[in-house]
Amino acid sequence: MRPVYLWDYDIDENSFKKMLDGSLNIGRLDQEWAIVRVLEYAPYQEILRLLSFKEIVQWWPKVRNRIRSNGRKRGFDFLVEWLPQKHPELLYG
């Protein structure tokens, strides 16, 4: 079954998970592309199912400029600043 945020690619969920962990590239589609795709298009609960808070905080500076939605940028900017201050145990625990 293909996740809705992959509407334009013929990639199944297992392959996409391998892309997210960096163990699979499909042509130019790599780990960074997969991270951007999730952060840009997946619902928040799906993002948290696929990525840890630590991964989000680590990847955010690298991928922020590739996210087109200003609302998503504001939301993740807040999350990435707030988590280390208020809940560092979610990043390092």
Going residue by residue through the chain (93 aa), what tens digit of pLDDT does each one get? Answer: 788 899 999 999 999 999 999 999 999 999 999 999 999 999 999 999 999 999 999 999 999 999 999 999 999 999 999 999 999 999 986
∠ at Cα 83 (64, 79), nearest 5°?
40
- Per the structure, how many domains does the chain have? 1
Give the three-state DSSP class for 29.
Answer: strand
Opening angle at CA 38, ends 69 and 87, nearest 5: 90
Show the domain range for 30.
Answer: 4-92
